């Protein structure tokens, strides 16, 4: 691993010249220059820690609301007399909405601030979650109202992760991004555990409606507290002027996206994230069935809970390790590649071990190791997009996540075909390993951590803060 002096990559003569000589002007839309983060736009460490906890809780509630429908699917199918196909249509409609707003959410966040988009979307999807049971009981055709509600949930929640990426790139210094993103990312595993345990208990005691009411209202309460105490009650107004005027960001978006997407490093993060998301979705979808088919007498809570319990501290550790290495002076590119090597390379070793005959305890251990190591991508490719293009990290992450979601669904279907055609679970694990290694080799070969969004802006605009 290459070692450099601390912050050495930020002290090149070229950048130093622009730090000293470029001064902001007031041309363009009000606030159009603030999306280029400078030293004064970053959160102080105490503020960053508060936001980390708040965003962790928000991501946890995001998954509580998202998983409420799958948790209640069986009870709702009995209530409304749905077939398996109809239940699948309701559950699958979330995906289509989720894909459509990724890029848009990131683009708006880059322009007006990720915190505003997070606040508005959380209030909306929280309200939609709480209102879902009412829609089911009032509508004469619950299958249509529930499918629509699930689709809208996908639309509203699709902006969450791109907004996080945009917010982190604008407000968090490079040496602390790993901890924030890995901690916030662990909220997805925590939310899955919470809704799986507490939600199942509420389902048995109070009915399926209670799961939606509680998770939805808590999400709205989270949005209110964020608005009241972190944003000081300021209205999260997103105006057409802020989105459409010809400021610096608007000109970049129109003229230089083609150049940006032709950069090898940018293509590498898109391909790598696509591979990471595909394998994760496949494992998430098929692992419960794998355990039930291979170990029919095993207790479900063991293989449904233990891997997620391992994933939470693993995600936190990866973020701390990443930030520590960067603070010690290690090259950022090398650190990102190391994290991704653990996520896709080392985890593949344990995935391969699942191809052979194994006992239930060893299978749980291998799956837990795989899921735990996969979380290292929070400090790898997921952060690399912020290194490459902090001015448009939200939109670029939206492109990555859209590609990953589409490819994930395709790989889940293809894995089912392989399992049925070969009669072996080993074929699925071999496919996962192959896709992981393809993504890893792409990242190791082409990934960089230098800014690729700065050259054209430096030449054409004189209102940039670096």
Structure-block tokens of residue 374: 């996969």
Q: Is the pTM here over 0.85, yes or no? A: no
Q: Which ranges of 295-380 does DSSP label H, i.e. alpha helix?
A: 300-327, 332-340, 347-353, 360-374
Q: Which residues pair with 330 in a beta bridge?
A: 3
Cα–Cα distance list, 197 to 156, 190, 200, 304, 315 (Å): 25, 11, 5, 11, 21
Beta strands in 82-133 (DSSP E): none
What was the pLDDT predicted at 14?
39
CA distance 46 to 49: 5
What was the pLDDT predicted at 24?
40
CA distance 108 to 410: 28
380 Cβ contact partners less than 8 Å away, ≥ 6 residues apart: 336, 337, 338, 339, 340, 343, 443
The answer to whether 431 and 286 are in contact (CB under 8 A) is no
Closest residue by Cα to residue 219 from 134, 131, 324: 131
CA distance 328 to 6: 7
Residue carrying structure tokens 């080799």: 441
What was the pLDDT predicted at 148?
94
333 Cβ contact partners less than 8 Å away, ≥ 6 residues apart: 2, 447, 448, 449, 450
Could you read off the pLDDT of 107-121 as tens digits, one per residue?
A: 999 888 899 999 999
What was the pLDDT predicted at 272?
97
Closest residue by Cα to residue 121 from 230, 233, 219: 219
What was the pLDDT predicted at 180?
93
Q: Which ranges of 158-263 does DSSP label H, i.e. alpha helix?
A: 160-171, 174-194, 200-206, 208-225, 240-244, 248-255, 257-261
Measured from the Cβ of residue 287, the count of other Cβ atoms closer than 10 Å reads 20
CA distance 136 to 129: 12
CA distance 192 to 214: 15
Could you read off the pLDDT of 426-457 as tens digits, one per residue?
A: 999 999 999 999 999 999 999 999 998 875 44
What was the pLDDT predicted at 28?
36
What was the pLDDT predicted at 211?
94
The answer to whether 463 and 28 are in contact (CB under 8 A) is yes
Structure-block tokens of residue 252: 């970049």
Residues of the chain with pLDDT under 50: 1-40, 245-249, 456-466
The answer to whether 105 and 160 are in contact (CB under 8 A) is yes
């Amino acid at each position: 691993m290459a070692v450099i002096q601390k912050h050495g990559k930020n002290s090149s003569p070229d950048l130093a010249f622009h730090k000293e000589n470029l001064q902001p002007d007031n041309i363009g839309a009000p606030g159009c220059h603030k999306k280029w983060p400078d030293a004064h736009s970053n959160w102080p460490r105490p503020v960053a820690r508060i936001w980390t906890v708040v965003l962790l809780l928000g991501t946890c509630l995001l998954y509580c609301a998202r998983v409420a429908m799958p948790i209640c699917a069986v009870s709702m199918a009995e209530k409304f007399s749905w077939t398996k196909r109809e239940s699948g249509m309701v559950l699958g409609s979330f995906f289509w909405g989720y894909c459509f707003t990724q890029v848009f959410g990131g683009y708006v966040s880059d322009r007006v601030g990720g915190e505003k988009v997070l606040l508005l979307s959380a209030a909306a999807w929280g309200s939609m979650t709480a209102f879902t049971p009412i829609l089911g009981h009032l509508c004469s055709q619950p299958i249509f109202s529930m499918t629509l509600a699930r689709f809208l949930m996908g639309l509203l929640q699709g902006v969450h992760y791109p907004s996080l990426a945009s917010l982190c790139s604008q407000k968090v210094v490079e040496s602390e991004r790993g901890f924030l993103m890995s901690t916030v990312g662990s909220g997805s595993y925590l939310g899955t555990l919470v809704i799986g345990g507490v939600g199942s208990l509420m389902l048995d005691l109070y009915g399926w409606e209670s799961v939606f009411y509680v998770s939805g209202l808590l999400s709205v309460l989270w949005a209110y507290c964020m608005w009241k105490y972190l944003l000081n009650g300021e209205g999260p107004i997103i105006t057409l002027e802020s989105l459409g005027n010809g400021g610096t960001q608007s000109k970049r978006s129109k003229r230089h996206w083609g150049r940006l997407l032709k950069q090898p490093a940018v293509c590498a993060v898109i391909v790598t994230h696509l591979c990471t998301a595909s394998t994760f979705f496949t494992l998430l979808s098929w692992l419960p069935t794998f355990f039930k088919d291979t170990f029919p007498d095993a207790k479900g809570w063991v293989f449904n809970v233990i891997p997620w319990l391992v994933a939470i501290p693993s995600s936190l550790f990866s973020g701390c390790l990443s930030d520590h290495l960067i603070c010690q002076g290690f090259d950022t590119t090398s650190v990102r590649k190391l994290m991704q090597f653990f996520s896709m390379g080392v985890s593949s070793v344990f995935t391969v071990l699942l191809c052979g005959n194994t006992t239930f305890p060893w299978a749980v251990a291998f799956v837990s190791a795989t899921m735990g190591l996969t979380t290292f991508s929070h400090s790898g490719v997921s952060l690399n997009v912020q290194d490459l293009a902090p001015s448009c990290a939200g939109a670029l992450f939206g492109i990555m996540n859209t590609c990953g979601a589409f490819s994930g669904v395709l790989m889940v279907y293809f894995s089912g075909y392989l399992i049925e055609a070969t009669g072996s679970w080993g074929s699925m694990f071999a496919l996962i390993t192959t896709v992981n290694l393809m993504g890893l080799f792409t990242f190791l070969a082409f990934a960089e951590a230098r800014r690729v969004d700065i050259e054209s802006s430096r030449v054409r605009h004189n209102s940039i803060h670096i």
